[in-house]
Amino acid sequence: MSRKKTGVLTKVEKFYIDNNEDKNLNDIADDLNRSTAIIEKYLAETGKSRSEETETSSAGDLMARKEDRGVTVMTPAASQVADDTRSNRIDSGHHPAIYIIKKDK
């Protein structure tokens, strides 16, 4: 794997970041071969700061997987997202595999 570029962002890289607002920070960082910290710094300087990735990710996206062995492990980030969204899932009335005997008060 090649090393990440360092230094100041070029005009082309800034243009790419500004015109790909629909992509998440990790995808942009991979496309530009830059760290997410540099991209976040640029977005903060321009006033276009984005929210954290964990806020837009579901718990399933944050699971650690080793697909060749069929293993999936819940990471601390996935657990946090699941805890944070628990009330939304319970209030929606849709429980695909859970039967709640008594609702939490």
Q: What is the pLDDT of residue 53?
A: 43
Is residue 33 domain-resident?
yes
The Cα 52–Cα 33 span in angstroms is 20
Is residue 84 domain-resident?
yes
46 and 73 co-located in one domain: no
16 and 44 co-located in one domain: yes
| The two structure tokens encoding residue 31 | 């496309």
Is residue 77 domain-resident?
yes
45 and 61 co-located in one domain: no
**Cβ neighbours, 10 Å, residue 80:** 13
Contacts of 82 (CB under 8 A, 6+ apart): 59, 74
Is residue 24 domain-resident?
yes
The pLDDT tens digits for 9-55 are 999 999 999 898 888 888 998 999 998 889 888 888 887 766 544 34
Question: Based on the structure, what is the number of domains in the chain?
Answer: 2
Residue with the two structure tokens 């015109």:
19
By residue range, what is the domain housing residue 17?
A: 11-50
- 1: pLDDT strictly greater than 60: no
**Cβ neighbours, 10 Å, residue 6:** 8
The Cα-based distances of 67 to 1, 26, 71 in angstroms read 21, 21, 6
pTM of the model: 0.45
Give the up-direction half-sphere exposure of residue 12: CA atoms within 13 A in the CB hemisphere: 2
46 and 17 co-located in one domain: yes
15 and 43 co-located in one domain: yes
Is residue 101 domain-resident?
no
The Cα 62–Cα 87 span in angstroms is 19
